[in-house]
Chains A and B, each alone.
Chain A
Amino acid sequence: MTAYALETQSVIKTYNSDSGIIKAVDDVSLQIAAGEFVALVGPSGSGKTTMLSILAALLQPSSGQILLDGQDLATMSDVARVALRREKIGFTFQANNLVPYLTAVENVELMLRLNKKLDRAGRMRARELLARLGLGERLNNLPGQMSGGQQQRVAIARALIHSPSLVLADEPTASLDTERAYQVVETFAGLIHEQNRAGIMVTHDLRMCEYVDRVLQMQDGKLVKIYTDRKDILKLAKGGRHS
């Protein structure tokens, strides 16, 4: 069971509304291995963002089990969840990704600072990672002095610098043009494979599935289809965007 970096069992998330109980996530079970990059796709309202929030330890499921490196997120205290997010999870978000008053390298180093692991080797690693992402000349630029694509790449570096078990990306290409979007996802996938992390990307843009190992398709809160065959994934990627 612990062979997977991440494993969920029958995760359910319900909300109360005027029209009754809504199941945003309905009995989702999945497994992601270390070194595997997975896309979570589906139309708006399919539950993929809720699922990502649960996996990110930002939201408690109504029931079910989420094991990250053997630890159950669903039963953790708030303090333990904050520590888990800091130590074992890397994030990139759609927008407002970076701390605006920290430079590119300071944003990346922030994860090491928070984990009390910022040393000379960590500083070097942050610079090297940013250089690999094509930002060697932008180390001391503030987010406001960088393009959206450059900011996303800084966020990718920040998500990976502290060697997390799980890397989560919420619509990382939403604010990028097509060329930049491909570049960002390709780099992201390359680093996840290279560093042997479990990666999950939520995206509307099916074209980005070209770089993932598996595609998990959600609809109405349920995991309705899993694409594992490379041909099927490429075919899906050529299909374009979800509505």
Chain B
Amino acid sequence: MLSISSYLALKEVWRNRGRFLLVSLVIALITLLVLFIAALGEGLGNGNREYISKLDAELVVFQAKSDFLIQASRLGRNRLLSVRRVDGVDNAGMLGTTNANLIVPADNSSLKVALLGVEPGRPGEPPVEEGQQLGTSQAKEAIIDRNTALRSKLAIGDMLTLRVTQGTDDEFYKLRVVGITGGQQYALQPSVFVPFNTWDTVRPKSEAEIGVSSDPVANVILVKLTDPSQVEQVRSLLTRQVEKVDAATIDEVIQALPGYSAQQSTLNTQGGFTLFIGILVIGGFFQIQILQKVPQIGVLKAIGTSNPIVATAAVIQIVVVTVIGVAVGGLLTFLLSLFFPPTIPIVFNGTSAAVAIIALVLIGPLGGLVSIRYAVKIEPLKALGLSS
């Protein structure tokens, strides 16, 4: 049955290749759109969560009632010491976050970066791919992420300049680049990692803070556990033993990132609607085609072609046209992606692309279901005009 069905299906596709190619191209464009929406979702999500998701830590400790918002949380060194004393905590490090402008050496333009203060050797300091880790908490050193390196053209050993507003004046700080880490974007910005005390010196301050000596205050404390499977137990201990703190898992922190959930659900909805439109377009095309082929299907049935053969031929045709369209669309997407600058947050993640491609391949038969049912219902007598 499969051989006669595929024979009929493929002969028709080949002999009407112009018409079928047009449909494949429409599917290719839908594929392009879906893959780009998926890649944009991945890119935006990645830009938001990349640093957090790669942390070598299982729990993040926040100031109580800060709703797991990193910027809203303030934790001093005394809390850090308390956290380190809790059973099950292997290591803990402070993380301070703020924004700064990096002066690009080539043209003196300003690049907005996330300035992250981390403790050398503690959770939060990203592993370098080139160069070395940070030296001490006071060192005038920085690790930059791959994105910062690409956009600023800074290399190991170069001096980077940060422009930061202190009170009402712009201050410039020079730090030596000692290491380059992989992609570690934070809040959709390329990142610069500096030792925690250096960060406290460099970070933007209000006029009231300037000149006032106080212990550095971090946003959150990153906690690495002795046994990662004991997350819930250690979380419970932390909230009980450390005063006025909440603890969140990495996933909870990601979901609480400002705008993250709304952004992802918006893009997922767009992707879903695009797939839905794809189903309607493919369904419409094959329905029109079946309507045009009623006499032809009538002849086939009259000469003894069974319904399963007619239905299978229709399915094969739909699958072939859809697969060609998705393949062309995937290729187009790949070629186009080569020309996108790193500033556009597009990331082709294998899993999300595979899910999108499987969904696209399935929309063909799904869209064609009505037409297949119609083809099976065609009465040869009526189709051939023999009914009285």
Per-position 1/0 for B7-25, Cβ under 8 A of A: 1100110111000000000
Asked if B299 and A99 make an inter-chain contact with CB atoms under 8 angstroms apart, the answer reads yes
Q: How far is the CB of A35 from chain B (nearest CB, A)?
A: 22
Chain A residues whose C-beta falls within 8 Å of the C-beta of B304 in the assembled complex: 82-87, 89, 111, 114-115
Which of A50-58, A212-220, A228-236 is found at the contact surface with chain B? A50-58
Asked if B302 and A56 make an inter-chain contact with CB atoms under 8 angstroms apart, the answer reads yes
Beyond known contacts A24-B388, A101-B15: 13 more, CB 8 A cutoff: A53-B387, A58-B302, A84-B304, A87-B304, A89-B304, A91-B302, A93-B384, A97-B299, A99-B8, A101-B12, A101-B16, A102-B11, A106-B11
The answer to whether A113 has its CB under 8 Å from any CB of chain B is yes
Asked if B385 and A99 make an inter-chain contact with CB atoms under 8 angstroms apart, the answer reads no
Residues of chain A at interface, number, CB under 8 A: 37
Residue of B nearest to A94 (CB): B385
- CB within 8 Å of A: which B250-304 residues: 295-296, 298-304
Q: How far is the CB of A168 from chain B (nearest CB, A)?
A: 10
Residue of A nearest to B297 (CB): A99
Q: How far is the CB of B310 from chain A (nearest CB, A)?
A: 11
Cα–Cα, bound, A110→B2 (Å): 14
Chain B residues whose C-beta falls within 8 Å of the C-beta of A87 in the assembled complex: 304
Per CB-CB distance, the 9 closest pairs between chain A and chain B, nearest first, are A86-B304, A101-B15, A96-B295, A85-B304, A101-B12, A58-B381, A53-B386, A82-B306, A101-B11
- CB within 8 Å of A: which B332-388 residues: 380-381, 384-388
Choice from B300, B307, B381 contacting A99 with Cβ under 8 Å: B300
Cα–Cα, bound, A79→B303 (Å): 13
Q: Which residues of B contact A (CB under 8 A)?
A: 4, 7-8, 11-12, 14-16, 295-296, 298-307, 380-381, 384-388
Known: A56-B302, A91-B302, A101-B12. A50 touches B4 (CB 8 A): no
Choice from B296, B298, B388 contacting A100 with Cβ under 8 Å: B296
The answer to whether A59 has its CB under 8 Å from any CB of chain B is yes
Cα–Cα, bound, A31→B296 (Å): 31
Q: Per DSSP, are chain A's interface residues mostly helix, strand or loop, or mixed?
A: mixed
The answer to whether A142 has its CB under 8 Å from any CB of chain B is yes
Chain B residues whose C-beta falls within 8 Å of the C-beta of A94 in the assembled complex: 385
Can you list 29 A-B pairs, Cβ within 8 angstroms, ordered by A?
Answer: A53-B386, A56-B302, A58-B302, A58-B381, A79-B306, A83-B304, A83-B306, A85-B302, A85-B303, A86-B304, A93-B302, A94-B385, A95-B295, A96-B295, A96-B296, A96-B298, A98-B299, A99-B8, A101-B15, A102-B15, A110-B303, A113-B4, A113-B7, A114-B4, A114-B303, A114-B304, A114-B305, A115-B304, A142-B15
Cα–Cα, bound, A111→B304 (Å): 9
Number of A-B contacts (CB under 8 A): 73
Chain B residues whose C-beta falls within 8 Å of the C-beta of A106 in the assembled complex: 11
Chain A residues whose C-beta falls within 8 Å of the C-beta of B296 in the assembled complex: 96, 99-100
Choice from B11, B298, B299, B388 contacting A49 with Cβ under 8 Å: B388
Cα–Cα, bound, A102→B11 (Å): 7
Q: Per DSSP, are chain B's interface residues mostly helix, strand or loop, or mixed?
A: helix
Residue of B nearest to A85 (CB): B304
- CB within 8 Å of B: which A58-90 residues: 58-59, 79, 82-87, 89
Cα–Cα, bound, A158→B300 (Å): 12
Cα–Cα, bound, A59→B379 (Å): 10
Asked if A52 and B386 make an inter-chain contact with CB atoms under 8 angstroms apart, the answer reads yes
Q: How far is the CB of B321 from chain A (nearest CB, A)?
A: 15
Chain A residues whose C-beta falls within 8 Å of the C-beta of B295 in the assembled complex: 95-96
Chain B residues whose C-beta falls within 8 Å of the C-beta of A86 in the assembled complex: 303-305
Residue of B nearest to A47 (CB): B388
Per-position 1/0 for A17-52, Cβ under 8 A of B: 000000010000000000000000000000001101
Q: How far is the CB of B226 from chain A (nearest CB, A)?
A: 69
Known: A58-B381, A106-B11. A15 touches B302 (CB 8 A): no
The answer to whether A7 has its CB under 8 Å from any CB of chain B is no
